[in-house]
Amino acid sequence: MKLVKNISLIVLCAILSCCKQPEGGLMYYTSAGQYETVSVTPPPADAQVRNVILMIGDGMGLEQISCAWVLNHGKLNIDNFPVVGLSRTYCTNSLITDSAAGGTALAVGQKTAIDHVGCSPDGTPLYSILSKARELGKKTGCVTVCHLADATPCDFCCHDECRDNADALIADYLDCGVDFIAGGGRDYFGPKRKDGRDIVEEMKAKGYNYASDEQQLMTAPLPVLGLMSDWNLPVAAERGDLYRHMVSRCLDLLSSESGEKGFVAMLEGSCIDDWLHANRIDLAMEETLDFDRTIGDVLQWAEKDGHTLVVVTADHATGALTLQDGDIAEGRIGVEFGNDGHNGIAVPYFVWGPGAGAFGGTVENCELSNIISSFIK
């Protein structure tokens, strides 16, 4: 994902001055506060899978998770997952993938080329697990921290050979049929479009209920288009529980409207990647910790439901991050970045709920998608 250049975020970075880089090259960070993690019990292994929730931490490799674990004093909600494996992230034309190709593999069950969004290397549209769910009469949702023109949400809803074709990608939301769409990116839907179209009005004409803030989102019925900001959502320290509330509203609406057919949702912690590209360990870690808090919310919801498969993974890892020092009791880490881009290291995946026994071991990212897809029926 592209890094925002925003003066307000620079000011916030100065405020979050716990991050410092002393002599020796290590960057140290101590998180602002510890949070309590949840403890959940999976349903019986033979329970029916009615709902599927795929959570993607963009850029969140094992190294980022390890750092977050130390910052929260040796506890994460992701520790609840009984099944863990590895996913290989390379794409068809590069060992080092991007969010377009990596996310498409997770969305459609087929590897593709760099920059390709929801399509094969030759540009043929490929349809995601959300499309499959819709065809089966299930409800669907897509919730993200970033703007909706970014690669990962588009991988599940749109089709284009180039992730930078924002106007065309946003127009694809008109025909994606996803019931609950929420994230940032108002500017991409109207005011700054080169073609002059107002996609919000066009989606309203298709029956979508538009929400431009949290209060409206919490009362809007399906189908929903929620645009919570002009670009990405505010950084974790500024947005509070906004993303968590967006996810909660998505799950409640989809479950109440889907009945026995169930639903499929993709929930992305997008901006972990942005701040890793910037080598800002403070902001990247606060995004990771907020994503883990959201994972806790989802697990508690799934435990009550009893028929929900939850999978958490990443499209790739970012920053060549290494954890070289720190203290669990103090919630402090000392890290070093190897680059400001992606790497080719396999990323972990975590599985909870009915059907979890079908997962485990090392798989291709597209195969992970295909296993998930086997439970959408």
Q: What is the pLDDT of residues 287-296, one digit of tens each?
A: 999 999 999 9
Q: List, in order, residues 6 or more apart from 144 with CB less than 8 Å away.
A: 150, 152, 153, 182, 183, 184, 267, 268, 270
| Count of domains forming the chain | 1
Q: What's the pLDDT at 23?
A: 43
Query: What are 94-116's pLDDT values in tens digits?
Result: 999 999 999 999 999 999 999 99
d(CA 253, CA 333): 39
Q: What's the pLDDT at 192?
A: 84
Asked if residue 299 belongs to a domain, the reply is yes
d(CA 27, CA 41): 37
Which of 300, 294, 318 is closest to 236 using CA atoms?
A: 294
d(CA 191, CA 151): 20
Asked if residue 13 belongs to a domain, the reply is no
CATH (domain of 173): 3.40.720.10
The label of the residue with tokens 């099944």 reads: 83
* Position 226 pLDDT exceeds 90: yes
Q: Mean pLDDT, to the nearest integer, of 269-275?
A: 98
Q: What's the pLDDT at 45?
A: 84
Is there a catalytic annotation at residue 373?
A: no
* Position 86 pLDDT exceeds 90: yes
Sheet with 332-337, strands from edge to edge, namely 27-30, 332-337, 321-327
Q: Mean pLDDT, to the nearest integer, of 60-84?
A: 98
Find the domain containing 357 and state its range. Answer: 52-373
Which of the residues 17, 39, 66, 99 is marked catalytic? 99
CB atoms within 10 A of CB 268: 28
Asked if residue 107 belongs to a domain, the reply is yes
Asked if residue 26 belongs to a domain, the reply is no
d(CA 270, CA 267): 9
Query: What are 142-173's pLDDT values in tens digits?
Result: 999 999 999 999 999 999 999 999 999 999 99
Asked if residue 230 belongs to a domain, the reply is yes
Asked if residue 362 belongs to a domain, the reply is yes
Asked if residue 166 belongs to a domain, the reply is yes
Alpha helices in 190-270 (DSSP H): 199-205, 214-217, 236-239, 242-258
Which of 331, 234, 269 is closest to 31 using CA atoms?
A: 331
Q: What's the pLDDT at 153?
A: 98
Asked if residue 118 belongs to a domain, the reply is yes
The secondary element (H helix, E strand) that includes residue 57 is: strand 51-57
